[in-house]
């Protein structure tokens, strides 16, 4: 493999605090050296960054990839194209596929399928319950041994308190987290939007925002009882974030993430029944959106995830209440997060940390940092380059973006996996 030399780049590595102009040298797929200036080895391929930011490849802790079972929505191959365009080199895959990832062979299958793309490391979640049906616990030990990074039932809430207690205790024995979709099931049933004036005006069945906090407070108590680690995914309300903030201050093993729609959009984005903006959890009131944005900066939120949920036209071209929830998020993950930087609400280092080092550290993933000897998983992006999100023109198969028509600043111009260029 030819040596690869990046010159005139802004080296950004939140894990080590590195943020300065310089160069980086890749040899045999690994980072050989980086610094203020490096000599050019004979025969090396030179990438002139012209001041662009070079950071670790992004680590996405939550995505559904359509395969197995929903290939008409997305395949691993098409998702790999979208991920590479978004600077993502590592993805944690949700287990609520068809069949669900409740068998060690399926964990191994997904990891191998990721390797086969040449551009992605796929890290599957193991199902908490068999078939993600919320009844009988899956075999955590075998799933963990096969390579499951944590346990979740994906978009399904682990509802019964006794079941969640057993899951936390069981996972604790393997040093693994339970990843919860925090939404009280009986309050969420049949809902299409956040309960309030807008949902009433549109005649949509609503879910009260407190449904999230109700589940969060319950599971915080169960984590304290069992010593198990709980991770709340896609937090979207001020009340839930306050609970997590308080739990962390007490030293409890509680962590959380959110996704770009919850700090970049509010419930008004559903407009007149705009189904691309129908998500789960639903978009919230402006006060909640602002609280999520503030929690990114103050450290309450541990990571930003794409929450990539591919849907096809037939899933979305239905009356709003009947349309499937979910949005495509791989190609827009970085740029929407960078909007917080451009708005002065988040430092660039913190924004990149939420997408690289922080999620990697959370789940013990060997990625998300610039380190000599480590695989050269890299993302090169222009911080200020403008572009517009257009559904139908995104890379990959899934086009159901809630950001359709939005102008963004910050664009990936190159992605490398183990030193091989996979985008740009």
Enumerate the active-site residues: 307
Taking the CA of residue 322 as centre, how many other CA atoms within 13 Å lie in the half-sphere pointing to its CB? 4
Measuring CA to CA, how many Å separate 41 from each of 34, 415, 421? 13, 22, 19
Q: 172 - beta bridge partners?
A: none
Q: Which residues pair with 106 in a beta bridge?
A: none
Cβ atoms within 10 Å of 150's Cβ, excluding its own? 25
The DSSP symbol for 130 reads G
- Dump the DSSP string for 347-358: -HHHHHHHHTHH
SS3 5: strand
Token match 């009340």: residue?
239
Contact 86, 394 (CB under 8 A): no
Which helix (H) or strand (E) is 36 found in, with range? none
Distance from C-alpha of 321 to C-alpha of 378, rounded to nearest angstrom:
41
Residues 6+ apart with CB under 8 A from 112: none
Helix (H, G, I), strand (E, B) or coil at 294: helix
Measure CA 397 to chain center. Answer: 18
- Could you tell me whether strands 4-13 and 18-27 are parallel, antiparallel, or unpaired per DSSP bridges? antiparallel
- DSSP summary character for residue 381: E
Tell me which H or E stretch contains 289. helix 286-298
* 220: helix, strand or coil: helix
| Nearby residues of 7 by Cβ (< 8 Å), 6 or more positions away | 23, 38, 46, 47, 48, 49
């Amino acid at each position: 493999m030819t040596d690869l030399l990046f010159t005139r780049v802004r080296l950004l590595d939140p894990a080590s605090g590195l943020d300065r102009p310089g160069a980086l040298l890749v040899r045999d797929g690994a980072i050989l050296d980086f610094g203020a200036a490096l000599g050019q080895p004979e025969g090396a391929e030179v990438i002139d960054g012209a001041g662009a930011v070079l950071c670790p490849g992004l680590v996405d802790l939550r995505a559904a990839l359509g395969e197995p079972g929903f290939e008409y929505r997305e395949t691993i191959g098409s998702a790999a194209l979208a991920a590479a365009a978004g600077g993502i080199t590592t993805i944690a895959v949700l287990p609520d596929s068809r069949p669900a990832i409740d068998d060690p062979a399926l964990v191994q299958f997904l990891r191998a399928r990721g390797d086969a793309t040449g551009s992605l490391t796929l890290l599957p979640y193991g199902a908490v319950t068999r078939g993600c049906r919320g009844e009988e616990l899956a075999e955590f030990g075998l799933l963990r041994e096969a390579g499951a990074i944590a346990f979740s039932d994906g978009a399904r809430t682990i509802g019964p308190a006794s079941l969640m207690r057993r899951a936390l205790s069981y996972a604790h024995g393997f040093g693994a987290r339970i990843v919860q979709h925090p939404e009280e099931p009986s309050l969420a049933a049949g809902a299409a939007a956040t309960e309030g004036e807008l949902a009433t005006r549109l005649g949509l069945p609503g879910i009260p925002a407190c449904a999230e906090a109700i589940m969060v407070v319950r599971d915080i108590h169960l984590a304290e009882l069992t010593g198990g680690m709980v991770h709340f995914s896609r937090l979207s309300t001020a009340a839930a974030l306050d609970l997590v903030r308080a739990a962390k201050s007490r030293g409890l093993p509680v962590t959380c993430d959110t996704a770009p729609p919850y700090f970049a959009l509010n419930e008004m984005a559903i407009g007149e029944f705009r189904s691309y903006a129908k998500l789960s959890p639903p978009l919230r009131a402006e006060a909640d959106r602002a609280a999520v944005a503030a929690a990114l900066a103050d450290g309450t939120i541990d990571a930003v995830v794409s929450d990539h949920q591919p849907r096809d036209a037939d899933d979305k071209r239905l009356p709003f209440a009947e349309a499937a929830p979910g949005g495509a998020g791989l190609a827009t993950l970085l740029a929407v997060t960078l909007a917080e930087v451009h708005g002065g609400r988040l430092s660039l280092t913190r924004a990149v940390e939420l997408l690289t080092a922080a999620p990697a550290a959370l789940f013990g993933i060997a990625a998300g940092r610039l380190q000599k000897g480590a695989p050269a998983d890299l993302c090169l992006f222009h911080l200020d380059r403008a572009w517009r999100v257009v559904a139908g023109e995104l890379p990959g198969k899934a086009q159901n973006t809630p950001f359709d028509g939005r102008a963004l600043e910050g664009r990936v111009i190159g992605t490398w996996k183990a030193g091989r260029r996979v985008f740009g």
